[in-house]
């Protein structure tokens, strides 16, 4: 009995010492503003994150990275396309249910709408000061949302059935009849990135572009990332308006896919994240916004080929440098003014 009791108390002492060492190490690593929020957030224990920015696998990895940096906190990741995430949040609000703590979308107009409706928390994370210029300039000037993801959307080919020499070079080339039944694309009714792409194409070529594309009978999914899966399976030969991150991850795993940087320009979509004003876990929500604007987040997304928005975290391997490509970014005003129209035109044109 004496030995059992001794072992028990030794175990307690060892565990307490280990916990103290962990807390001290954490205190040394975390900047003061994160540490203060962390202490408050530990009483809340978790957050729920609605996100449409990255695919399911990297989104779950982000949740794990947050929990590793802040032991005792959990991220409930609710990943969907951006439009579905926004619809889910709108349903919560209509039902007067507060479930979501932090909302991330690829559709800038979602954040603008939520800000106007007074649904977002005014919180300017200190870590955001270290983001690259394009992210800082695209953030809300009043601090209601930050840019946490920079999506690059371009084309890709199945490289065993479409040799580089025969591949389309421009967005306009996708309307060539020889690509009939060979293209896959997402849907603007579900994906904010596809909405931005529709606005880009409409500005460049008018809606006649999509009438010509419809004649090639593209396979239409939901997410902008769906065509990557279709290319991997060999069901289609070309992907339109697909995310570079998802495509590069697929390539890294040995799939026969190659990126195509269109001659007119690559669509670049600054994607917003904001904490909800009525967040059930407000301190944890603030801490998560600090996390997604800090270097630890971009280090966590790098293995999944997310573009780094922090100068101290290098860009993903296999991608062209941002200053080496022609970029097109619709303004927030263009997105908000034109989003609904292009969704309706899409349904009229493609019947879906």
H helices present in 70-182, as ranges: 82-94, 108-116, 133-138
What is the C-alpha radius of gyration for the chain, rounded to an integer number of angstroms? 22
Shared-domain flag, residues 109 and 54:
yes
CA atoms within 13 A on the CB side of 270: 24
Phi, psi angles (nearest 5°) of residue 152: -105, 125
pLDDT score for 124: 96
Chain centre to alpha carbon of residue 19: 34
Is the torsion defined by CA of 120, 123, 126, 129 positive or negative? positive
pLDDT score for 13: 44
The interaxial angle of helices 108-116 and 192-205, nearest 10 deg, is 110
318 located within any domain: no
316 located within any domain: no
The interaxial angle of helices 332-350 and 108-116, nearest 10 deg, is 120
Closest to 335 measured CA to CA, from 211, 223, 209, 192: 192
C-alpha to C-alpha distances, 306 to 51, 154, 317, 318, 334, nearest whole angstrom: 15, 14, 10, 11, 25
pLDDT tens-place values along the chain, 352 residues long: 334 444 433 443 444 344 344 344 444 489 999 999 999 999 999 999 999 999 899 999 999 999 999 999 999 999 999 999 999 999 999 999 999 999 999 888 899 999 999 999 999 999 999 999 989 999 999 999 999 999 899 999 999 999 999 999 999 999 999 999 999 999 999 998 999 999 999 999 999 999 999 999 999 999 999 999 999 999 999 999 999 999 999 999 999 999 999 999 999 988 999 999 999 999 999 999 999 999 999 999 999 999 899 999 988 888 887 778 898 988 888 988 999 999 999 999 999 9
Q: What does the block give as tokens for 233? A: 């399976």
What is the C-alpha to C-alpha distance for residues 243 and 304, in angstroms, rounded to an integer? 12
Closest to 193 measured CA to CA, from 154, 230, 156, 229: 154
253 located within any domain: yes
Shared-domain flag, residues 200 and 342:
yes
- Residue indicated by tokens 């080919």: 157
Shared-domain flag, residues 92 and 145:
yes
What is the C-alpha to C-alpha distance for residues 119 and 139, in angstroms, rounded to an integer? 17
Shared-domain flag, residues 234 and 244:
yes
215 located within any domain: yes
CB contact burial 308-340 (16+ within 10 A = b; e otherwise)? bbbeebeebeebeebeebeebbbebebbbebbe
User: pTM for this structure?
Assistant: 0.79
In 3-state terms, what secondary structure has residue 31?
Answer: coil
Shared-domain flag, residues 116 and 57:
yes
What is the C-alpha to C-alpha distance for residues 24 and 27, in angstroms, rounded to an integer? 5
What is the C-alpha to C-alpha distance for residues 80 and 97, in angstroms, rounded to an integer? 19
304 located within any domain: yes
Shared-domain flag, residues 157 and 240:
yes
H helices present in the chain, as ranges: 2-29, 32-41, 56-69, 82-94, 108-116, 133-138, 192-205, 208-214, 226-232, 244-252, 282-292, 295-301, 332-350
39 located within any domain: yes
Residues 153/242, Cβ–Cβ less than 8 Å: yes
What is the C-alpha to C-alpha distance for residues 109 and 123, in angstroms, rounded to an integer? 19
What is the number of domains present in the chain? 2
pLDDT score for 25: 42
Shared-domain flag, residues 131 and 219:
no
What is the C-alpha to C-alpha distance for residues 286 and 281, in angstroms, rounded to an integer? 9
Query: Helix-strand-coil percent breakdown of the chain, rounded to 5?
Result: 50, 15, 35
Shared-domain flag, residues 160 and 217:
yes
pLDDT score for 22: 39
Shared-domain flag, residues 27 and 93:
yes
Q: Which domain holds residue 138?
A: 2-150+270-311
Q: What does the block give as tokens for 46? A: 């978790």
DSSP state of 174: G
Shared-domain flag, residues 155 and 143:
no
Shared-domain flag, residues 52 and 156:
no
pLDDT score for 9: 38
Shared-domain flag, residues 218 and 106:
no
179 located within any domain: yes
346 located within any domain: yes
What CATH number does the domain containing 188 carry? Answer: 3.40.190.10
């Amino acid at each position: 009995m004496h030995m059992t009791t001794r072992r028990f108390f030794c175990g307690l002492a060892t565990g307490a010492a280990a916990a103290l060492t962990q807390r001290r190490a954490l205190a040394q690593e975390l900047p003061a503003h994160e540490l203060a929020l962390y202490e408050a957030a530990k009483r809340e224990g978790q957050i729920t994150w609605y996100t449409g920015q990255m695919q399911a696998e990297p989104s779950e990895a982000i949740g794990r990275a947050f929990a590793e940096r802040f032991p005792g906190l959990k991220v409930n990741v609710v990943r969907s396309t951006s439009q579905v995430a926004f619809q889910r949040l709108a349903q919560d609000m209509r039902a007067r249910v507060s479930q979501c703590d932090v909302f991330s979308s690829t559709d800038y107009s979602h954040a603008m709408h939520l800000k106007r409706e007074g649904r977002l928390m005014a919180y300017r994370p200190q870590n955001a000061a270290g983001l690259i210029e394009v992210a800082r300039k695209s953030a809300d000037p009043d601090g209601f949302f930050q840019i946490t993801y920079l999506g690059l959307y371009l084309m890709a080919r199945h490289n065993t059935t479409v040799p580089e020499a025969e591949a389309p070079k421009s967005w306009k080339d996708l309307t060539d009849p020889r690509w009939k039944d060979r293209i896959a694309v997402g849907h603007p009714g579900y994906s904010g990135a596809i909405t931005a792409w529709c606005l880009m194409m409409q500005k460049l070529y008018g809606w006649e572009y999509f009438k010509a594309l419809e004649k090639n009978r593209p396979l239409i999914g939901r997410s902008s990332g769906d065509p990557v899966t279709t290319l991997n399976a060999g069901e289609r030969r070309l992907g339109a308006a697909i995310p570079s991150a998802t495509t590069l991850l697929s390539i890294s795993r040995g799939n026969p896919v190659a990126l195509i940087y269109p001659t007119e320009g690559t669509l670049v979509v600054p994607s917003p994240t904001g904490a909800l004003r009525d967040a059930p876990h407000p301190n944890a929500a603030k801490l998560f916004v600090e996390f997604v604007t800090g270097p630890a987040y971009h280090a966590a997304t790098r293995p999944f080929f997310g573009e780094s928005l922090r100068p101290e975290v290098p860009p993903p391997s296999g991608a062209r440098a941002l200053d080496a490509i022609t970029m097109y970014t619709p303004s927030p005003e263009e997105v908000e003014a034109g989003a609904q129209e292009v969704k309706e035109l899409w349904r009229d044109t493609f019947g879906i």
